[in-house]
């Protein structure tokens, strides 16, 4: 009955005819469907009929192992577009990773994709989930695609059967995911043979071609929520969040490698979410119901929860090969070589949030009392912690700075700056100032404190200095969460180059490391390196034209 209603609805909405649907199968059913039917390219130069999914030694009592197209082991940022309808043109932040797509080209491409499916008459997998754990703002999200593994991923990553969401059919977004279609750039107006298109007007996400990385199913709808929520006065954030025993919530922004996931996983605090969070007029809440963790170099002692989840049923391992000479079916998940980068360094693992034993009820918390901006400064010049006020918060939030290592070869010591506005620029569909102004308004209204927490290097840059110890970082974070670093409770130095307020003392942390200049033997070298980083901040600020968006320069 449900399938018949679905068939009528998708015929009316998209023009799909003669297509079979498998609707809301269990994850165990999808596990077997994916192994039996998901086919596509898995090797460079290979054909389009390779098996994509495999069981481990544990069968359906363990994870499903999935291999993406070799050209899509991560998000295809250069092939992500939004349809440039007149109704949305002025509100979208057009950029390299969200380019404008002409409406006429889009309509023609969508028609071709539908005709391709009508001619092929495949079985499509449908998963009805929600983007958002709070029914106050959550939207129904219907995944429709050729791969069972993608439906299984949606079931892992998003809330199901969320009660209290009104007008569901009116609010519903649909993703049509068709890996078997091949875009022709000269005909379709795309850059490559695959494209990801967001239609804000018609509530549709189209994935056409080999863009079969599981993260596309997650990050595309996150980009949608980043468009919808600010229009309602709510802040959507690329951050982790947790809540203390006294009910005090905290949010932690940070790019990859800064400690966002690690620091939010605190046995003394309940996890709200590790990646995507909404801040409404009443609370903060997780947009998801799962985790999509990096697996490369996973250490069972450092990340025991993820390690345990690796062998649980209903989860998905992406792009990890079996050990040489073995078939995946012969391997226990804990025997996999998680240092293996032969397919990609971006190996991933999807598992439900319930695998974490310490999750906040409903994945929600009250308005945050502490906001943390994380950076991992490989230049070695930012202080381990700095207290930020309103204009400083907006500046550092839109800067979204971290520093990555230039390479992994011995002797490569020159760090490389990375700026990503709002700590997630590719997914931000409005200009950065929209999110920055909302952040400041909410911070001021709810009297939230904010700190810049540096998890990077001290005593010199990468290759010379040392990484700030995790023990010191946790002590600084805990002090900030307790309010120990608030005005009136501690004395500050002001950094002469960055203008940052640096506490002179902090429980559990040697006072001499709090001013980073003290940790360098060569003070002139420190001053030169600090000036270099300050100039990089200024260059980024000017290049992004943040002043024109109403952001004040603070350095």
Write b or e for each residue in 148-170: b if 16 or more Cβ atoms lie within 10 A of its Cβ, otherwise e: bbbbbbbbbbbbeebeebeeeee
DSSP three-state, residue 316 = strand
In the set 261, 315, 429, 519, the catalytic residue is 261
Residue 306 in domain: no
Residue 413's pLDDT band, with cuts at 50, 70 and 90, is: very low
In the set 41, 76, 203, 348, the catalytic residue is 348
Residues 153 and 251 in one domain: no
pTM comes to 0.94
In the set 188, 199, 274, 275, the catalytic residue is 275
Residues 196 and 250 in one domain: no
Q: Which residues pair with 403 in a beta bridge?
A: 417
How far apart CA 324 and CA 32 sit, in angstroms, is 25
Among candidate residues 140, 123, 122, the one with its CA nearest the CA of residue 132: 140
Residue 542 in domain: yes
What's the whole-number mean pLDDT along residues 187-196?
Answer: 97
Which class for 327: exposed (0-12), middle (13-18), buried (19 or more C-beta within 10 A)? exposed
Residues 27 and 137 in one domain: yes
In the set 22, 95, 99, 256, the catalytic residue is 256
Establish whether 275 is a catalytic residue: yes
Residue 41 in domain: yes
CB 254 within 8 A of CB 291: no
Residue 333 in domain: no
Establish whether 95 is a catalytic residue: no
Establish whether 180 is a catalytic residue: no
Residues 406 and 522 in one domain: yes
How far apart CA 298 and CA 303 sit, in angstroms, is 7
Establish whether 172 is a catalytic residue: no
In the set 219, 269, 449, 495, the catalytic residue is 219
CB 30 within 8 A of CB 149: yes
Residues 208 and 251 in one domain: no
Establish whether 219 is a catalytic residue: yes
Among candidate residues 253, 256, 182, the one with its CA nearest the CA of residue 452: 253
Residues 118 and 255 in one domain: no
pLDDT at 411: 40
Establish whether 440 is a catalytic residue: no
Residues 167 and 254 in one domain: no
Residue 349 in domain: no
How far apart CA 182 and CA 316 sit, in angstroms, is 26
In the set 75, 396, 495, 544, the catalytic residue is 75
Establish whether 75 is a catalytic residue: yes
For 272, residues 6+ apart whose C-beta sits below 8 A from its C-beta are 240, 241, 242, 243, 249, 284, 285, 286, 359, 360, 363, 364, 365
Residues 415 and 526 in one domain: yes
Mean pLDDT estimate for the chain: 94
What's the whole-number mean pLDDT along residues 159-165?
Answer: 95
DSSP three-state, residue 445 = helix
Does 184 have pLDDT greater than 90? Answer: yes
Residues 375 and 459 in one domain: yes
Task: Give how many domains the chain has, as a whole number.
Answer: 2
User: How many C-beta atoms surround the C-beta of residue 377 within 10 A?
Assistant: 26
DSSP three-state, residue 200 = coil
Which residues span the domain enclosing 405? 246-259+367-434+442-472+496-549
Does 409 have pLDDT greater than 60? Answer: no
In the set 37, 150, 260, 396, the catalytic residue is 260
pLDDT at 256: 81
Q: Which long-range contacts (CB under 8 A, 24 or more apart) does 513-521 make?
A: 513/384, 513/458, 513/468, 513/472, 514/383, 514/384, 514/385, 515/383, 516/380, 516/381, 516/382, 516/383, 516/384, 516/458, 519/458, 519/459, 519/460, 519/465, 520/380, 520/459, 520/460, 520/465, 521/459
Establish whether 261 is a catalytic residue: yes
pLDDT at 1: 62
Question: Which CATH number is 544's domain given?
Answer: 3.90.228.20
Residues 219 and 250 in one domain: no
- C-alpha distances in angstroms, 390 versus 150, 444, 553? 41, 8, 12
In the set 41, 238, 396, 442, the catalytic residue is 238
Does 156 have pLDDT greater than 70? Answer: yes
């Amino acid at each position: 009955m449900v399938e018949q209603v679905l068939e009528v609805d998708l015929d009316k909405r998209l023009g799909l005819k003669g297509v079979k649907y498998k609707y809301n199968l269990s994850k165990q059913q999808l596990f077997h469907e994916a192994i039996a039917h998901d086919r596509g390219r898995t090797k460079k130069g290979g054909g389009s009929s390779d098996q994509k999914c495999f069981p481990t030694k544990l069968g359906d009592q363990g994870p499903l192992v999935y291999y993406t197209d070799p050209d899509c082991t991560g998000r295809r940022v250069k092939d992500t577009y939004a349809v440039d309808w007149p109704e949305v043109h002025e509100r979208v932040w057009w950029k390299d990773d969200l380019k404008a797509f002409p409406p006429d080209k889009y309509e023609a491409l969508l028609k071709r994709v539908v005709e391709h499916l009508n001619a092929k008459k495949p079985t499509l997998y449908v998963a009805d989930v929600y983007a958002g754990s709070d029914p106050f703002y959550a939207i129904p999200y219907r995944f429709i695609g050729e791969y069972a593994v993608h439906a299984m991923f949606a079931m892992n990553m998003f809330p199901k059967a969320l009660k209290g969401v009104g007008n569901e059919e009116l609010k519903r977004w649909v993703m049509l995911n068709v890996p078997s279609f091949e875009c022709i750039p000269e005909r379709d107006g795309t850059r490559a043979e695959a494209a990801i298109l967001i239609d804000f007007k018609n509530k549709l996400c189209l994935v056409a071609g080999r863009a079969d990385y599981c993260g596309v199913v997650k990050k595309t709808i996150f980009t949608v929520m980043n468009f919808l929520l600010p229009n309602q006065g709510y802040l959507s954030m690329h951050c982790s969040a947790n809540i203390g025993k006294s009910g005090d919530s905290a949010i932690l922004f940070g790019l990859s490698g800064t400690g966002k996931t690690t620091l939010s996983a605190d046995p003394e605090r309940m996890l709200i979410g590790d990646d995507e969070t909404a801040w409404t007029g009443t609370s903060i809440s997780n947009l998801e119901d799962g985790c999509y963790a990096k697996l490369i170099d996973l250490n069972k002692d450092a990340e025991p929860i993820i390690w345990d989840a690796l062998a649980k049923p209903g989860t998905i391992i992406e792009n990890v090969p079996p050990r040489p000479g073995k078939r995946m079916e012969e391997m226990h998940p804990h025997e996999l070589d998680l240092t293996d980068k032969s397919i990609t360094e971006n190996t991933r693992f999807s598992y439900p949030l319930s695998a974490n034993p310490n999750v906040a009820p409903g994945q929600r918390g009250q308005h945050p009392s502490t906001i943390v901006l994380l950076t991992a400064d490989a230049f070695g010049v930012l202080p381990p912690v700095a207290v930020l006020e309103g204009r400083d918060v907006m500046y550092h939030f839109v800067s979204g700075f971290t520093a990555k290592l230039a390479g992994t070869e011995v002797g490569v010591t020159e760090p490389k700056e990375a700026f990503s506005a709002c700590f997630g620029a590719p997914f931000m569909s409005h200009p950065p100032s929209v999110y920055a102004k909302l952040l400041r308004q909410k911070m001021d209204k709810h009297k939230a404190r904010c700190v810049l927490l540096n998890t990077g290097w001290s005593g010199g840059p990468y290759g010379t200095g040392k990484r700030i110890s995790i023990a010191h970082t946790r002590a600084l974070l805990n002090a900030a969460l307790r309010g120990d670093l608030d005005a009136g409770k501690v004395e500050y130095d002001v950094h002469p180059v960055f203008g940052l307020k640096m506490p002179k003392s902090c429980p559990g942390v040697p006072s001499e490391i709090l001013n980073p200049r003290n940790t360098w033997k060569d003070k002139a070298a420190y001053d030169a390196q600090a000036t270099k980083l300050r100039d990089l901040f200024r260059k980024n600020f000017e290049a992004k034209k943040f002043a024109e968006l109403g952001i004040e320069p603070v350095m």
